[in-house]
Structure 1
């Protein structure tokens, strides 16, 4: 019991520190940063990979007025933009380079009930775009005159059937013809980017495809100390399925890894954008810092040679959407790990599967959270029972422990020996109350990350005033009830603490935890509240059973 109190004291200290840290972040003095304007930075560097096959990622040359890096990022000319709309995506493609410069998720509103859809890729409010093309000796994106200007038959495309193809065409004076086709499918957030290259020159040509994300580094991470979420880059290789690569990492060192298959991406809380190159090819994953303001992560494929008169087709997948584990797992090995459950992912994935099954039965994510909490607490009941019985036996030894203190005084060695003999005689394990608690913690932490990371809970309705389980309780009812349940648990567990200061700290703990839970998503607080209520019921049953066996509980 005393060790459990110690854990609570440590938790209170941690909460206090985190509160102070968050206050400093929100209201403390902020460092002054000298940031280039988005337009001027873009004029200096377009961030496209080197034209030299196999060379490091470098800046494109900027000695020509036709180079995209010499033009503003924000382009008002709609004739340069192709608008594509499906049931899942609302996309704009810049004909200069064929980059996706805007992508909104049609089935994900910004806020619950809002008509404004969630923006993944964009030019305004912090640059975040998906660039792609062909580089190398004869690649159009390596042309000294800048990136290619594609042509298309129309500027508006709408998906009406099951599949929509948007072809962009470019042809050089020498006779190299490139058709860059974006393929959309109904209900899918995956866009296949195909390149059909025809060599009408008299010589063999060579090139390699690339795909990359370019994003402003000065963006909020989207989380806070109470709900830590990652925002930044990531990649996967054959050896390391999922590795975070933060903006700071990109600033410090350029990524350069060669791997079969692989993927690169940019992550937000519930969403991810990812380039997935051909899985049967060997690809180079890279990163760079562009114009001291833009983080870039991307891939370069194998060099491709096309003989005179021949043609070839290569492709890559662009995913822009939610962190749907099943979809991501089918798209690339390790991409589903962007739903970051941490080191306990193997437990979390099992719990998530169970949560999805319960939701399929009851049709309500809040009820599914209640049911999974009941099931988990039920499975762990034997450990809980052992924990409470061990604590009760330790409390019953309190008078004898006091006698030992009076007998041996400050002689710690003799005191320790006497205590061990007493534990052995009474058949009490002093760690018996802690061990079950330690064994339970991985499961509770794994479930915590499931509720924190799962996009399925975003805008998920529960009941009454809880209309979105992914945001905090608007009326703070659940945090208050959680604090009250903790207070009842304290009353149910008599303490042997006699120091007045420690007693006051323990009494304040439920209040501190209620404040702590104010920022938690309602789904997480619901989980803790139900867990506390079940613990109260289990404790009552355990104490009643011990009283019947003649074991004192108070």
Structure 2
């Protein structure tokens, strides 16, 4: 196999994979359009709750031994979310919590602008422009969220809370006429996107109270998909069980059926490019993971915790964690087992994680992601140099055998069996391995694909500056300089490396391949094109060194 085609084959394999993904996105199952009334509710900033008439309710059914009451309607509560919400601001989050149910209906990530250089923060959760909220509560026989009069309306001492120290507690309280009191407290920590939610239930009634905590993420299945063939991203749900550390559960899966799995620990999440929201229940107990399709408009994925029985006069607590932020692998790995896999590197995740760790180490040394990419390319190509050398020498020997191969063809004609035997004998005598040029390619392809997903999925590279006009390595080169230089480097590689191709059509295809690849590179992330360019330059230098060494040893290189 000709070495100048190695990178071209890698690129064509990647492009074929991306084309398949794009076809599936364009022609696969499409989400349903929300009803006009639902859109009107969203435009007013009111979270849309199911009215209970369709059979699929917004609030999950309790798995406790005493069934919960029928789910209420939202219409019995106050008019708008704006008049019953509180604002919470930390150094990382700007939240709005609806006092109806105590749901997080808005979450802005203050350290992540929506676009590079913008003052507006990225909105992860929102009650309008595509509903996406984090709901939670207590169901069960005595759970306030299963009360027939409607979801609980909590009270708060303030309408605005600001983190001034290292921690902040925001308590919401609710009490019924029988004497059951619930305090739902959101705990915030400086520098963290993690929110700990604690329920303190004081049972001042004469009977044992049974409640069951739940947490769920609700999102419209209609959204503006900004991914494309060269920047494929996943938007949908995911979960983890004891058996499956990470499992995607797309909106299509939620439409087709209901998830219901009981597992030790576990978590549920909603994913998008670079960011994730996740409910993490207590990891020392069994939880039930579930999904729900609400009128073919909204996808819900959530968990049910263990039922909690509180004797008369006693107090019980239930806890969970809500994460709303970037896909920071180190933070997510500490939060829950497998949650770091939401940084989805695909089947080569193990290799991608190794490359990402190396990239992080190099960035720690140089402080520039572009320079770190250059250094990791040098390291990878340097590690593969012995194999590359064998590849070039093997192909040079194969080219030198071309006259003898032609003699064998003339001698044996169409007798394929004798021709094959004669070729193998010739390879043995000349000590040539016809497959010697393939091994480096087989190693380069997974490394390239793994690094591709590292550059695609790692939030650390979002808006990462390099130098000059490259101010964001996660998007395409705005002036297409890197793709042009990469195409030129591929052309030089073609000229440097002789070919044994004699078919005129194949020769023309190979001549135009650098131009075709340059066109594809126009939409690739600048960081990936930078890696490819540096890889080509290093290959040119290595080829010069290898050919010089071969000439000294009397091995013809052309």
TM-score tier (shorter): over 0.9
Given the alignment, which residue of 479, 484, 488 partners 1:484?
A: 488
Q: Which residue of 2 aligns with 1:266?
A: 270
Paired residues of 1:12 and 1:512 also in contact (CA < 8 A): no
CA offset at residue 361 of structure 1?
1.0
Per the normalisation by structure 1, the TM-score is 0.93
Matched, 1:208 2:212: yes
Deviations 1:483-514 (A, max 9, x none): 11111111111111111111111111111111
**Residue 59 (structure 2) aligns with:** 48
Over residues 408-464 of structure 1, what are the superposed CA-to-partner deviations in whole Å (9 max), with x where a residue is unaligned? 222212211111111111111110100222133322322222222111111111000
- 2:490 equivalent to 1:457: no
Change (3 A) 1:353 1:194: same
Structure 1 window deviating more from structure 2 (6-15 vs 320-329): it is 6-15
Q: What are the Cα deviations for residues 232-256 of structure 1, in whole angstroms up to 9, with x where unaligned?
A: 1111112211111111111112111
Greater mean deviation of Cα atoms: 33-42 or 113-122: 33-42
221-230 or 337-346: bigger deviation: 221-230
Aligned equivalents of 2:131, 2:238: Cα separation in 1: 18
Q: For 1:33-82, what per-residue CA distance to the aligned partner results, in whole angstroms no more than 9, with x for missing partners? A: 654232477454661112463799999354x841x6xx9xxx74533011
Q: Look up the match of 2:104.
A: 100
- Which of 239, 249, 252 is equivalent to 1:248? 252
Residues in 2 aligned to 1:521 and 1:58: alpha-carbon distance in whole angstroms: 52
Mind listing any 5+ residue stretches in structure 2 that lack a counterpart? 42-47
Which residue is equivalent to 2:44? none
Secondary structure of the structure 1 residue equivalent to 2:91: coil
1:3 to partner: Cα distance: 8.8
Q: Give yes or no for the alignment of 1:392 onto 2:399.
A: no
- Summarize deviations over 1:380-423 as a string: whole Å, max 9, x none: 11111111111111111111111111222222122111111111
Q: Whole-Å Cα distance in 2 between the matches of residues 20 and 263 of structure 1?
A: 30
Moved more, 8-17 or 532-541: 8-17
Q: Deviations over 1:492-539 (max 9, x none)?
A: 111111111111111111111111111111111111111111111101
The alpha-carbon deviation at position 343 of structure 1 amounts to: 2.0
Q: Is the 8 A contact 2:62 2:140 kept in 1?
A: yes
CA distance in 2, matches of 1:214, 1:461: 34
1:212 deviates by 0.4
Q: In structure 1, what is the equivalent of residue 94 of structure 2?
A: 90
Give the match for residue 421 of structure 1.
Answer: 425
Check conservation: 1:373, 1:531, Cα contact below 8 A.
Answer: yes
Over 3 Å counting, the alpha-carbon distance change for 1:406 and 1:2 in structure 2 is farther
Contact between 1:47 and 1:59, CA under 8 Å: does it hold in 2? Answer: no
Alignment of 1:138-217 (within 5 A): 138-217=142-221
1:232 corresponds in structure 2 to: 236
| Map of 1:78 onto structure 2 | 82
Task: Show the counterpart of 2:35.
Answer: 36
| In structure 2, distance between residues paired with 1:132 and 1:32 | 25
SS in 1 for 2:290: strand
Question: Out of 542, 547, 550, which is 1:546 matched to?
Answer: 550
TM-score (structure 2 length as normaliser): 0.92
Q: What number of residue pairs does the alignment pair up?
A: 546
* Conserved 8 A contact 2:31-2:221: no
Summarize deviations over 1:275-324 as a string: whole Å, max 9, x none: 00011111001111112111110000001000000001111000000011
Structure 1 residue 338 corresponds to structure 2 residue 337: no
- Is this contact kept in 1: 2:70–2:146, CA < 8 A? no
| CA offset digits 1:252-271 (Å, max 9, x no partner) | 12111111111100111111
SS at match of 1:152: coil
Structure 1 pair 494/57, CA: closer, same or farther in 2 (3 Å)? Answer: farther
Alignment check: 8 A CA contact 1:49 1:59 kept? no
SS of the residue aligned with 1:336? Answer: helix
Does 1:130 pair with 2:129?
no
Which residue of 276, 290, 295 maps to 2:294?
290
Contact 1:347/1:446 (8 A) holds in 2: yes
* Residue aligning to 1:323: 327
Q: For residues 55 and 506 of structure 1, what CA distance do their matches in structure 2 show?
A: 72
SS at match of 1:464: coil
